[in-house]
Structure 1
Amino acid sequence: MFNQLLSLLSTKGKYNLCISALFFTFYGLSAVAILLSVFSILFNLVDEKTSANFMATFVLLFVLVIFKGICNMVADLKKHEAGFDIVQQIREKMIIKLKCFSLFFYTQERLGELNTILHKDVDNMSLIVGHLLPRMLSDFLIALCVFFGIAYLNLPLAFIMLLPLPIALGYLYYTIKQAQGIEHHTNSALNDMVSLFVEYVRGMPVLKSFSHNKRFDQDLFEKIQYFGENSKILSRFKAKQLAIFSLLIDLSYFSLLSIAGFMAINAYLSLFDFLIIVIIAKEFYKPFAGMEMHYMYYLSALDSYKRLGKILYADVIPDKITGKVPIHNHIAFEHVHFSYAKDEFQIHDLSFTIPEKTMTAFVGESGSGKTTLAHLLLRFYDVDQGKITLGGVDIREIPYDELLNRISVVLQNVQLFDQSIEENIRIGKKGASQQDIIEACKKARIHDFIMTLPQQYQTQIGENGGLLSGGQRQRLAIARAFLKDSPILILDEMTSHVDPINEALIQEAISELAKNRTVFVIAHHLKTIQHADQILVFQHGQLIEHGNHQSLLAQQGHYSQLWYAQYASS
């Protein structure tokens, strides 16, 4: 884990980490030097040395105190900068990575868990890099310096000081393995609780409407209780484990103290050396005693790092950056096989073509595979067998950015952001001028409405465009598509839930947007696709009919049944 975290740090982050560890080392060694200076003063008093000796020692002591304070300040500043760096680096990489996953990833990962990973787990990495690593490195550097210092005074005592440590460290290593399992169960319980709580809050309107049904409440109470019980088990285990480890460290120091005392009593060791050894030996044991803190940080971070790894190191959609760029924009599905999972919805040996600059409509009941075909074209998923070609080139051979740049998507459920109207439309084309945005809005039949708003294009529209009507949101999405100006257009018919005025404006905008483009329409209202160049009819993932509107009606097949089911009364 530590190696991977260090590799994620920027060059500046690594520099700050090293500087922090170095100055924490100076800080610790200056504390040892201050102790030695104080003892020097005491021994000078006993020996009745001259005032010049006292003055020199006090000046040294003053310099050491100032130096210690400066080292602490620099080390503390640099450790926080290193901690901020790892958080920034991880979150930037996560944002980039999340855009590279197939949609299947988001069916597996729960929103609550992703939220926990992005906040709690990333912050835990800051604790490791900003607090644990510099302190731990400096502590062991200090311990190394102290060991050589004691070895210089008395080599046998230096090795006696080392002997009991393997027992204590072996015990800690063994119990860490046990604690990891408990920590994993506790964090899983936390994720379950958070995910259910998010769902609970989102579903509050429904829950209040059916307040007599307490099943959801009971499930949430059980998740909270389960998390609480796991937290108690983990706390009890850690308390017992760390108490025993601390006892073993104290026994190590007691062994050194006893043997050094025996040597001093029997004149094998001077009183000055005895006092120096037993006092600075505490600095040698400090990093090992501090393993309690390091261990707690490590356990907390290890499980967090495993969850982060599910994003940072997960497989993404393969992308051939130097792949082929097609010249034309006709689309072909050739013997395509696809399924989301075993024994679920399947597409089997599907073949059809969409000629360039024509409109093809996809018709069928919900669950027949229409939206899945759009997702496959966009490579939100990859086909299991067969291939999809664009301009005669397998879309898996086209650089992914090039593929997405060629396709504009206007969906029934528009996704907008809590920003201004201008910024929401500019998503269609990075760096677009305001004049480009205005022209796109005019074509989308939304400009006149925007100009009636107090702040016009700078108006904030709320979360997911909550301050706009459904029809207005959809016309903003159409404006994005005009701004992007891609040769291929995917339309999920958007007039299902809008008023007649908005429906007419949307139809006008769509008719203009579709001109001279290869258009892929997911149709719900069959009247809107009567003039499509071809209509493909699907059922359970299979293509069962194709032709234009008149020929399909004449066949008296499934399309005809759908048509008369919708418009029998008229």
Structure 2
Amino acid sequence: MVRNILNELTARGVRHLIISALFFVVYALCGTAIMLTVLFLIDRHIQGESISFISAAWLLGGLLVLKTISNAIADMSKHFAGFDLVERIREKIILKLKMFSLGFYTNERLGEISTVIHKDVDNMEMVVGHLWTRMSADFIVALILGIGLFCVDWRMGLTMVAILPIALFSLYRGIRSGMKAQEESQNNLADMVSLFVEYVKGIPVLKVFGGKGMFRDRLDHSVSEFGESSKNTSRLAAVSVGRYTFLIELAFALMATIGLWWTWHGELSVFAYLMFIIVSKEFYKPFVNMESHWLNYIKVKDSYGRISHLLDAPIVVNPSQPKTAERFDLSFEGVGFHYEKESFEMKNLTFNVLERTVTALVGSSGSGKTTITNLLLRFWEPQNGSIRIGGIDIREMDYDYLLGKISVVMQNVILFSDTIANNIKVGNRNATQEEIEEAARRAMIHDFIISLPEGYETKIGENGLGLSGGQKQRLSIARAFLKDAPIILLDEITSNVDPVNEYKIQQAMSALIRNRTVLVIAHHLQTIRNANQIIVMDKGQLVENGTHAELEAKGGVYCKLLSMQ
């Protein structure tokens, strides 16, 4: 884990880490030097030697200033190193999230991902800011002071460290038992956060259908489990820490008692005895703080495990030598696919979509229409067969290149809590203001936008809060115009809008699909009469294929669906 975390740091982060540790060493040594200087001055005074108080004041003042400056530099550097690590990990996670298949988001709950991005990544700052800089500096200081004290009197030095191995072994046993309890507590926390997210999102439904009691029981149970596991973790930590602290205090007491005996019998000078009593406190400091370092380590190790699980999850793999398409016809060749935990299965799906034509996918719910579009976008990977654009397998294309050639306009429009301009700009982040406005005009939404008090700079709520369904759809169409991709995937988007918006959307869509390869999921069959091709799906199988007139003449599944409407 330590090596992996170090690899995440940039050269600047490592530099800040080293600077912080070194200045913490200087800070601690300055504190010890101040105490020893005072002790030395007292000893000289007792022995009747003359002392220059001005020189002593200058020395003590200089040490105090150096100590203050060192602490400020060390504290600042440790946070810079910590922020560097957090920034790098968050950046990697954000980039990785884009590379996952849709199946990952089905298996991984959003609450768990949110916990990793926020709580677990923040915990990693603790590694650099507290666990490494402070601990490494404390042990360097302990080593320097330990060598110095052994040089003063090796017998007292041995007495000082006699019980430390026993104490450290005790702590090690406590660490092993505490890590399992902490892991259980963190897993329960992730479950609880996920349920809270689900609860907040589902409050409107729970209120309408009176399901609050059922969900409340699940939530109470999750909170109770987290509470019990947290108590167990705290209980184990308290017992282990208490035992370890007692042994450290016993080590100091043993040294102080034996040293007093030797001093009493003249085998050790008072000055040397007092030096051990004062300086040993700094020597024991890293061992006293081991319990806090241990608690931080457990927390960080558990967090790093979840971060690694996220970063190491399988992604959509790019080919070493990606290919590009010269034309944009589509072909599904013997495609077979099934979900992991569902009965749905697609077998030997084969069809072609000519370039610059419109192909409609129809069928009952669960027949495989959305699965076809998801496979084309590589949200899922087929288990058999291939999907080709312009004769090239999409797995042989760079994934960003593939997505760059496809625009998606679906019923459930995703809008962000940002300005209208930036929401349209999702289609092309390098677009100018003029291009954004032109896309909005073609999507029949420009007049509405400029009627708003702040125009294109108007901020909308999450998922377009404050906009009607038709307005959201037209913003989505504006994105597609701005992207200007040769392939368009449509989920029939006029089924839930009023007549006025439906008319504007149909006008915008007519312009959008012109001279493009279009694959549309159709719900209202009357709207696809003019499609160049209609593919009828049933339980993952292609059962009919042809134009509206051809399928109507067959009197098969398509006719049954048509008559139902």
Match of 2:13 in 1: 13
The more displaced of 79-88 and 434-443 is 79-88
1:43 equivalenced with 2:43 (yes/no)? yes
Q: Distance in 1 between matches of 2:517 and 2:56?
A: 87
Secondary structure in structure 2 of the residue aligned to 1:362 = strand
Aligned partner of 1:132 in structure 2 is 131
Tell me if structure 1 keeps the 8 A contact 2:174–2:237.
no
SS at match of 2:105: helix
Report the CA distance shift for 1:164/1:212 in structure 2 as closer, same or farther (over 3 A): closer
Post-superposition offset of 1:79: 1.5
TM-aligned CA distance change 1:398 to 1:471, over 3 Å: same
2: distance between equivalents of 1:140 and 1:35?
19
The corresponding residue for 1:320 is: 319
CA distance in 1, matches of 2:245, 2:69: 31
- Name the counterpart of 2:32: 32
CA distance in 2, matches of 1:63, 1:449: 69
Q: Match for residue 180 of structure 1?
A: 179
Instruction: Please tell me the residue identity of whatever aligns with 1:2.
Output: V
Query: Displacement, 1:156?
Result: 4.2
Q: Which residue of 1 aligns with 2:429?
A: 430
Letter in 1 for 2:16: N
Aligned-residue offset at 1:501: 1.3
SS of residue in 1 equivalent to 2:427: coil
Letter in 2 for 1:521: V
Aligned residue pair count? 565
- Aligned partner of 1:291: which letter? M
Corresponding position of 2:526: 527
1:325-404 to 2 correspondence within 5 Å? 325-342=324-341, 344-404=343-403
Instruction: Please list, as runs of the form range in 1=range in 2, the aligned pairs for 1:216-365 lying within 5 A after superposition.
Output: 216-320=215-319, 322-342=321-341, 344-365=343-364
Name the SS of the counterpart of 1:214 in structure 2.
Answer: helix
Alignment correspondent of 2:418 = 419
Q: Distance in 1 between matches of 2:412 and 2:211?
A: 32
Give the aligned residue type for 2:195: L
Matched letter for residue 430 of structure 2? G
Q: Which amino acid aligns with 1:46?
A: I
Q: Structure 1 CA distance, aligned partners of 2:212 and 2:434?
A: 54
User: Structure 2 unaligned runs (5+)?
Assistant: none
- Identify the residue that residue 457 of structure 1 maps to in structure 2: 456
Tell me, in whole angstroms, the C-alpha distance in 2 between the residues paired with 1:206 and 1:443. Answer: 37
Shift of 1:254: 2.8
Aligned residues: CA RMSD? 1.6
How far the C-alpha of 1:43 sits from its partner, in A, is 0.4
Instruction: Tell me if structure 1 keeps the 8 A contact 2:410–2:493.
Output: yes
- Worse overlay, 306-315 or 29-38: 306-315
Change (3 A) 1:51 1:288: closer
User: Residue 51 of structure 1 aligns to a residue in which SS?
Assistant: coil
Over residues 289-348 of structure 1, what are the superposed CA-to-partner deviations in whole Å (9 max), with x where a residue is unaligned? 100111111112221111111222222111126411121111111111111205532111
> Structure 1 residues 372-381 or 83-92, which shifts more?
83-92
The structural deviation recorded for 1:396 is: 0.8
Residue identity matched to 1:436: E
- The AA in structure 2 aligned to 1:344 is S
For 1:377 and 1:116, the matched residues in 2 are separated by 31
Q: One-letter code of the match for 2:305?
A: K
Structure 1, 1-10 or 252-261: larger mean CA deviation? 252-261
Q: CA deviation at 1:279?
A: 2.0
Whichever residue aligns with residue 127 of structure 2, its letter is: I
Contact 1:183 1:299 in 2 (8 A): yes
- Summarize the Cα distance change of 1:479–1:343 in structure 2 as closer, same or farther, 3 Å threshold: closer
SS at match of 1:356: coil
Distance 1:559 1:110 in 2: 38
3-state DSSP of counterpart to 2:99:
coil
- Dislocated runs of 4+, deviation >6 Å: none
Distance 1:222-1:342 versus aligned 2 partners, 3 A rule: closer
Q: Distance in 1 between matches of 2:212 and 2:513?
A: 49
Residue 413 of structure 2 aligns to a residue whose secondary structure is coil
Residue type at the aligned position of 1:237: L
Letter aligned with residue 233 of structure 1: N
Residue 117 of structure 1 deviates from its aligned partner by 1.4
Q: Tell me which amino acid in the other structure corresponds to 2:23.
A: F
Per the alignment, residue 144 of structure 1 pairs with: 143
In the alignment, the residues of structure 2 paired with residue 461 and residue 169 of structure 1 have an alpha-carbon distance, to the nearest angstrom, of: 57
Could you state the TM-score of these two structures normalised by the residue count of structure 2?
Answer: 0.97
Contact 2:150 2:156 in 1 (8 A): yes
Partners of 1:145 and 1:15 lie apart in 2 by 23
Secondary structure of 1:99's aligned partner? helix
Counterpart Cα distance in 2 of 1:464 and 1:97: 23
**Residue 93 of structure 2 aligns with which residue?**
94
- Kindly provide the CA deviation profile for residues 433-471 of structure 1, in whole angstroms up to 9, marking residues without a partner as x: 111112111111112222222222222222211121111
- Note the C-alpha offset of 1:212: 7.3
Cα distance in 1, alignment partners of residues 10 and 508 from structure 2: 47
Contact 2:490–2:519 under 8 Å retained in 1: yes
Asked whether the equivalents of residues 147 and 284 of structure 1 are also in contact (C-alpha less than 8 Å), the reply is yes
